[in-house]
Structure 1
Amino acid sequence: MKILLLAAVAASLLVVAPAGAAPETRWELRPTGVDARLRGLSAVDARVAWVSGSKGTVLRTTDGGRSWASVAPPGTEALDFRDVEAFDARNAVVLSIGPGDSSRIYRTSDGGRTWAQTFANPEPDAFYDCVAFFDRFRGLAMGDPVGGRFRVLVTRDGGRSWRRVPEENLPPASDGEFGFAASGQCLTTAGSRDAWIATGGGARARVLHSGDGGWRWTASDTPLLSSPSAGVFAVAFRTPRQGVAVGGDYADPAGAVANLALSGDGGRTWRAPSQAPVGYRSGVAWRGGSVVAVGPGGSDLSRDGGRHWRQFDQGSFDTVDCPSTCWAAGEKGRVGVLTGG
């Protein structure tokens, strides 16, 4: 295992706030020593996190980001690992994207010292985007439509084997509809049975929902903009009922377009809040009753469940995860930990 960065730099200087003032919300950077674009992120806690991305990159930290180990499967330098799901410091699953057998899933149970390839896409026209788990054993992976239907894989053994959901169990895809592999968050779960898929590209930006662990799915429209470069890029649920969807247009990242919607009924209906972030956002996560959204144009925080927002950072991130401590990752190996939030 190669250690890329050891005790990189001292933490940023603390800003002393006036007595009684709330601490400043900001990202404290955790240098990784790589220049890959890190679109995959799975934070276990304040100390353990995994990130993945371009150039076959998979990194792991066990000391809060002070040092990072390169733990990618050998011989995968040409792959783009757009998603990673970690259960702890030793067990994780990574997904690479692309047409045909470029879409693969690998699993490790020893912190990345060794990996087993557990899925290779057999369909030349299929393209897998995201992976998510209900618990340590039950998980899903989703891919773009082939023959008018999305692809969904199911695992019941922690990613050691995968089975495809029958095509007829998924609603027909609209013309041009697909998922965005921008943040590893186009697929999410909440509770033991509910899962959601974010889509765009077609006439409407939709969210697909399954209430039975991924076997059967229904679709709902959202108010987000949809086009070949726009749609729902990420979806997150605090509970099986309370959710948020973010997106926009990556071709117009600063455009003032419909880029966020809220659901209070498990994704059956979606509504735009009266005030939302401005510009394209590719990642979103709940932290208690607060929500953090990120994108190449900045980061935003809502303290009231997504109804009102304020931008607190203008740096570029693609994805965010908040098991307790919030982590974010993005271009040029950029990783940050939220402080004062």
Structure 2
Amino acid sequence: MRWLTRSAALLACTALAVTPVPAVAAPADASWQLTPTNTDARFRGLSAVSGRVAWAGGSGGVVLRTVNGGREWQRVDPPGAAELQFRDVHAFDERRAVVLSIGEGAASRVYRTSDGGRTWQVAFQNPDPEAFYDCLTFFDSRNGIALSDPVGGKFRILSTSDGGQSWKVLSDKGMPPALDKEAGFAASGQCLVSSGGRDAWFATGGGARSRVFHSADRGNTWRVSESPLAASESAGTFGVAFVGRRHGIAVGGDFANVAGPSTVALTGDGGRTWRAGAQQLGGYRSGVAVPPTRPWTAIAVGPTGSDVSRDGGRSWTRFDDGSFDTVDCAWDGACWASGERGRIAKLGR
């Protein structure tokens, strides 16, 4: 969202989803365990590979990698990126990762590494001054898409089919028109998410209404539905996340009023319709994730704290008061969170 970036207030989307299986409670005494990063960068980009491996992207062009569960973080910044803001990361393993920087024109870039960050390739540098890329997602190890704020009245989708080595802009013929001032929030790398090999969703705000877009063909065509979350220049749906194709949760709020109410929205039909959750969160939330090993458990984070749901987003319990911008959970159930002042934590007991 370009006009928020100018005021240094950019934030992004997050959401989570669940599959209809018996609930498995997260440990009652779980808490965030901070790890030593030795930097004060703000990390809005995060990718959890496992309990041992994670990557983070942040302000000042900083990229970090750990391969020992957060005991040590290696700084692996792309060269010449000190002026960039890395807002999204997708890591395939401890060696291969893709990072996205945001901004107008050439500031929006995609970097790729295949050697653990020792060297980086500039896989994409935005040539269009009207485009502003917010976030990216991958369906598998080869196919992925990235989202730009509207260009010519429609959101723009960038696509890769070779693991992020090269990218192309998709036709916007299958994209519904954007609302006036509508945009994605680049706050947590979760304004665009995917589930399975073809389905993707992105969330919006900034305009008169917040909405969620869904594609079932890797970003070529989209349908849009309204979210019950309130929208304004600084408010909307900040993220969506899905486990499976049907069950999802959206979270957000107003980043200009971080202590205000944050409404949760739920869907059971793949995002065709959304309903307000029965319980609100304790403030604006920019990130949310579902541990694959506990698909009815969800974790939401924001500047005023972290909340956990053990019933698919219907009810929530605050378990931490620290500030985080984003959260991600790996295939083995390990969950990580990151945010301001170099804060990166792992969920532990």
Question: Is TM > 0.5 for Structure 1 vs Structure 2?
Answer: yes
What residue in structure 1 maps to residue 307 of structure 2?
300
What residue in structure 2 maps to residue 81 of structure 1?
86
Equivalent position SS for 1:168? coil
Whether contact under 8 Å (2:261, 2:280) holds in the other structure is: no
Q: Does 1:52 align with 2:61?
A: no
Equivalent position SS for 2:64? strand
- Structure 2 distance, partners of 1:267, 1:119, is 30
What residue in structure 2 maps to residue 3 of structure 1?
none
What residue in structure 2 maps to residue 332 of structure 1?
341
Structure 2 residue corresponding to 1:291, chosen from 270, 277, 298: 298
Equivalent position SS for 1:123? coil
Count of aligned pairs: 318
Whether contact under 8 Å (2:175, 2:223) holds in the other structure is: yes
Residue 23 of structure 1 deviates from its aligned partner by: 4.5
Q: TM-score normalized by structure 2? A: 0.90
Q: Does 1:278 align with 2:282?
A: yes
Structure 2 residue corresponding to 1:90, chosen from 72, 87, 95: 95
The aligned amino acid for 1:209 is H
Q: Which runs of 5+ in 2 are unaligned?
A: 1-26
Equivalent position SS for 1:235? strand
Residue correspondence of structure 1 range 226-265 to structure 2 within 5 A: 226-257=231-262, 259-265=263-269
Residue 43 of structure 1 deviates from its aligned partner by: 0.6
Structure 1 residue corresponding to 2:214, chosen from 209, 213, 217: 209
- Structure 1 distance, partners of 2:286, 2:327, is 9
- Structure 2 distance, partners of 1:233, 1:56, is 23
Equivalent position SS for 1:98? coil
What residue in structure 2 maps to residue 317 of structure 1?
324
1:234-253: CA deviation from partner (whole Å, max 9, x where unpaired): 11001111111110000001
Residue correspondence of structure 1 range 132-281 to structure 2 within 5 A: 132-257=137-262, 259-281=263-285
Whether contact under 8 Å (2:252, 2:286) holds in the other structure is: yes
Whether contact under 8 Å (2:192, 2:240) holds in the other structure is: yes
1:165-199: CA deviation from partner (whole Å, max 9, x where unpaired): 11222110001100000000000000111000110
Q: Which has the higher contact order (CA 8 A, sep 6+)?
A: 2
The aligned amino acid for 1:292 is I
What residue in structure 1 maps to residue 24 of structure 2?
none
The aligned amino acid for 2:345 is G
Residue correspondence of structure 1 range 10-29 to structure 2 within 5 A: 23-29=28-34
- Structure 2 distance, partners of 1:72, 1:265, is 40
What residue in structure 2 maps to residue 61 of structure 1?
66
- Structure 1 distance, partners of 2:191, 2:336, is 18
The aligned amino acid for 1:308 is S
- Structure 2 distance, partners of 1:126, 1:215, is 18
Residue 24 of structure 1 deviates from its aligned partner by: 1.0
Q: Which runs of 5+ in 1 are unaligned?
A: 1-21
- Structure 2 distance, partners of 1:163, 1:253, is 37
1:99-143: CA deviation from partner (whole Å, max 9, x where unpaired): 000000010000000011010111112100001001110001001
Residue 256 of structure 1 deviates from its aligned partner by: 2.0
What residue in structure 2 maps to residue 123 of structure 1?
128
The aligned amino acid for 1:26 is S
Q: Percent identity?
A: 61
The aligned amino acid for 2:344 is V
Whether contact under 8 Å (2:248, 2:270) holds in the other structure is: yes
Q: Does 1:70 align with 2:75?
A: yes
Q: 1:298 to 1:233 in 2, by over 3 A?
A: same
Work out which of the two has the higher radius of gyration on C-alpha atoms and give 1 or 2. Answer: 1
- Structure 2 distance, partners of 1:23, 1:171, is 44
Residue 25 of structure 1 deviates from its aligned partner by: 2.1
